[in-house]
A = this chain, B = another copy of it.
Amino acid sequence: MSLPAPLTGVIPPVCTPLDPDGEVDVASLLRLVDHLVAAGVDGLFLLGTTSEAAFLTDGQRRRVVEAVTGHLGGQLPVLAGAIDMTTPRVLEHIASVTAAGADAVVVISPFYARLGPAETARHFRLAAAASPVPVLAYDLPSAIPTKLSADLVVQLASDGVLAGLKDSSGDLAGFRDVVTGTRHLPGFSALTGSELLVDAALALGGHGAVPGLANVDPDGYVRLDRLCRAGRREEARAVQERLCALYGLVHAGAGRVGAGSSALGAFKAALHLRGVIACPATAEPQVPLSPAEVAEVRRHLVEAGLL
């Protein structure tokens, strides 16, 4: 299917369930997809950071996209990440995920190689030139050493290179600059990757949200999105605050393991506790959550009425 322009609503970055051997558990993946679709989400984002794309081999990445697009049959737009260090590898990922049926690709700035804005711009231009589907930029300065500037995003959007932005920077003022700077481009999708500021991001003109926590509580985010769209802001704020409290589960392993291990482990533990996926394993070299940490995740689910 072709990507809505702009893309709106809730587009969860889908976790990638693994079996105890580290292989993609396709049955669990499709159950997770059904769980999201049933909640009324507006699209799916595969192979993002929350999907553990950085841990998956090329074969596993392809398997994920094929399984989901085959299962959905065009029912919802499917975005797929093409996360890698530099252009040549990103082009390989773009070719692979679009062959597997992705309706759009999400591309991050080059990293590892100490490049500057000139190279970043060139990277997105090459990606867009090679991609048969729209390209969205991905801003995630907690993962890579660089922040994507609003000016560059607006320039690339104006040049027809970028069809959208997934902003996971936490910098809402920069997101606002993109929103106002692209308002004259009606098809551009400004998406927030924040779990905690969806109401604020939509209020200032953002089109949608890509919150990792939507794996755990898709109904909550869909309700939040619908309340925002209806202008029922006080109710939206209450739902958002409930989700902020639930989000505390990502810190279950804090202090003992890295922030990424903790958050991904907690999302999967929650999906396992809720009966959506068969096994809470995360990819190597992540350290599994301890029983006490899983109990902490459970406590958050119970408090949020999800268990």
Interface positions of A (Cβ within 8 A of B): 22, 49, 52, 54-58, 60, 83, 85-89, 92, 110-116, 118-120, 122-123, 126, 142-145, 170-173, 176-177, 180, 194, 196-197, 199-200, 203-205, 233, 237, 241, 244, 256-261, 263, 283-287
Do B86 and A119 touch (CB < 8 A)? Answer: no
Q: Could you tell me the distance in whole angstroms from the C-beta of A242 to the nearest C-beta in chain B?
A: 10
Do B204 and A176 touch (CB < 8 A)? Answer: no
Do B56 and A113 touch (CB < 8 A)? Answer: no
Do A113 and B196 touch (CB < 8 A)? Answer: no
Question: 17 pairs across A/B with beta carbons < 8 Å?
Answer: A54-B85, A55-B113, A56-B88, A57-B89, A112-B144, A113-B143, A114-B261, A115-B257, A116-B257, A119-B286, A120-B285, A122-B287, A126-B284, A173-B194, A180-B244, A199-B203, A233-B233
A13 CA to B122 CA, complexed, in Å = 26
* A173 contact set on B, CB distance < 8 A: 170, 194, 196-197, 244
Do A86 and B170 touch (CB < 8 A)? Answer: no
Tell me the number of copies of this protein.
4
Evaluate whether A118 and B258 lie within 8 angstroms (CB atoms) in the complex, with A112-B143, A197-B172 already known: yes
* A284 contact set on B, CB distance < 8 A: 86-88, 122-123, 126
Do A85 and B287 touch (CB < 8 A)? Answer: no
* A118 contact set on B, CB distance < 8 A: 256-258, 261, 287
Do A241 and B86 touch (CB < 8 A)? Answer: no
* A89 contact set on B, CB distance < 8 A: 55, 57
Do B241 and A180 touch (CB < 8 A)? Answer: yes
* A256 nearest CB neighbor, chain B only: B118
* A200 nearest CB neighbor, chain B only: B200
A142 CA to B284 CA, complexed, in Å = 24
* A54 contact set on B, CB distance < 8 A: 85-86, 112-113
* A59 nearest CB neighbor, chain B only: B92
A177 CA to B258 CA, complexed, in Å = 22
Q: Could you tell me the distance in whole angstroms from the C-beta of A203 to the nearest C-beta in chain B?
A: 6
